[in-house]
Amino acid sequence: MKRSTLRELSFPGAALLAWAACAIACRASFSPDGKKVLFPYMVPLGGDGKEDKAELGVALHDRATGKTTSVRVFEAGQESFASPQWTSDGKRIVLVWLEKRGQDHLEVAVLPASGGAAPRGYVLPRSAEGLSLLNPPPLLEDRHLYLGGDAIHRLDLETGDVKTLKVEDDAYLAARGGKVYAFQELKGTEKGYELATLEEPRGEMRLERAVLLPKDEVGEVAPFLGLSADGARVALAATKGERQEVLVIEGKEVKRRVAADPKEFGLLGNVEWAPDGKTLYAASAQPLSPAVPGGQPSAFDLGLCEVPLGGGAPRVTKLVTFRKPQGKKGDDAPLALTQVSLSPDGKTAAFLGTYLDPGSAVEDDRCLYLVDLADPGRKVTRVRPPAASSGKSAKKE
């Protein structure tokens, strides 16, 4: 079952967070009015004795009616697609995927959200190596789509024109408030990470460093960029020794660090800001007791972690138990495959579990989770992905 080429990062106590030269952003996307949710999904179809097979697609969930339908079912040879996105008016959907048939290349499609009309498509020459889609590709002014990796591409969705900026180290992109940020792990003489802004004077792209994060000071930093509503602040999850931190960066300095105990709250994945800027929400993986004393945990509770910036203990809502498959290749890094997003009003969090391998989580847990943040008990609604279009059941007979 090919979805992405992941390479694992070894953090103390657990190895759950991965990024890759070719990685997908497994994240749901709320419509601008918050009434509908787009999400990628995978439906297992069984195996042929050599490789498991699965149907990959993008689904649309209507929160008012509870109905979930397929927007796009990908064909064999189409893989490693990024999170679907809405245009700001809610009338169009933007999809990005890697086309593996023939010469590798990247394809982008703009679909009308109401259906009916034919999609507008674009093709970019792009190999599987060097593509970084761990964060949803930034879309500015409903026109310019930015794609990162060993180069930064800007695709004009109106004209089809592409501008390219070569970079020395892989760039992971994110944008909000009209600002595009690039995160890079430096491989040269400077050991650490760079957060930069993408500037475009006279239409030409260049990176301007905002802050350098030395690795000996911050530890291992994940390239999930959490941006505040105005784009002025950036939150990043970092692990140093036995300490889990969220770095909050504003301008050219790290303004503050919010600590959490990994033993109690788990390791953190992607980070999202509440609209009022007072709380951070992150995907969390809490290790369970290892089967062998002193060994590495083989099971983890995945869920939603709430980190208040004004003080107080983080809160975790457990959603699904992840188990590393025994004797079978499975997911090594669920925090790359289970990401969190927020509704525009900040009252609902979406946690994606539809991309977990069936060997890692029971079928009923492989769904989209909607967490009611206005409910003191954090009521959870499960949204199952559509059935396979081939009619084959994902369940074992």
The CATH number assigned to the domain holding 94 equals 2.130.10.10
Q: Which of 85, 24, 41 is nearest to 355 (CA)?
A: 41
The answer as to whether 294 is a domain residue is yes
Is residue 143 scored above 60 in pLDDT? Answer: yes
Under the banding of pLDDT at 50, 70 and 90, the label for residue 65 is very high
Could you tell me if residue 250 is inside a domain? yes
Q: Give the least confident one: 13-22, 92-101, 115-124.
A: 13-22
Domain contains 72:
yes
> How high is the pLDDT of residue 108?
87
pLDDT (mean) for 348-376: 90
C-alpha R_g of the chain: 20
Residue 392 has pLDDT above 80, yes or no: no
Gap between the Cα atoms of 169 and 188, Å rounded: 9
**Predicted model pTM:** 0.87
Which among 77-81, 170-174, 334-338 has the top mean pLDDT? Answer: 170-174
Q: What is the pLDDT of residue 75?
A: 75
Q: Does a structural domain hold residue 391? A: no
Kindly state whether residue 395 falls inside one of the protein's structural domains. Answer: no
Q: Name the range with the highest mean pLDDT among 178-192, 259-273, 341-355.
A: 341-355
Alpha helices (runs of H) in 200-304, residue ranges in sequence order: 215-218, 262-265
Helices in the chain by DSSP H: which ranges? 215-218, 262-265, 334-337
Task: Decide if pLDDT at 394 tops 90.
Answer: no
pLDDT at 74: 81
Q: Is residue 11, in this structure, part of any structural domain at all?
A: yes
The verdict on residue 275 lying in a domain is yes
Residue 322 is assigned to a structural domain of this protein: yes
Contact 111, 92 (CB under 8 A): yes
Overall number of domains in the chain:
1
Give yes or no for a contact between 254 and 233, defined as CB atoms under 8 angstroms apart: no
Residue 183, C-beta contacts closer than 8 angstroms, at least 6 positions apart = 171, 172, 173, 174, 193, 194, 195, 196, 223, 225, 236
Q: Domain range holding 22?
A: 5-383
What is the arithmetic mean of pLDDT over 71-82?
A: 73
Tell me the average pLDDT of the chain: 81
* Beta strand 131-132 pairing with 18-23: parallel
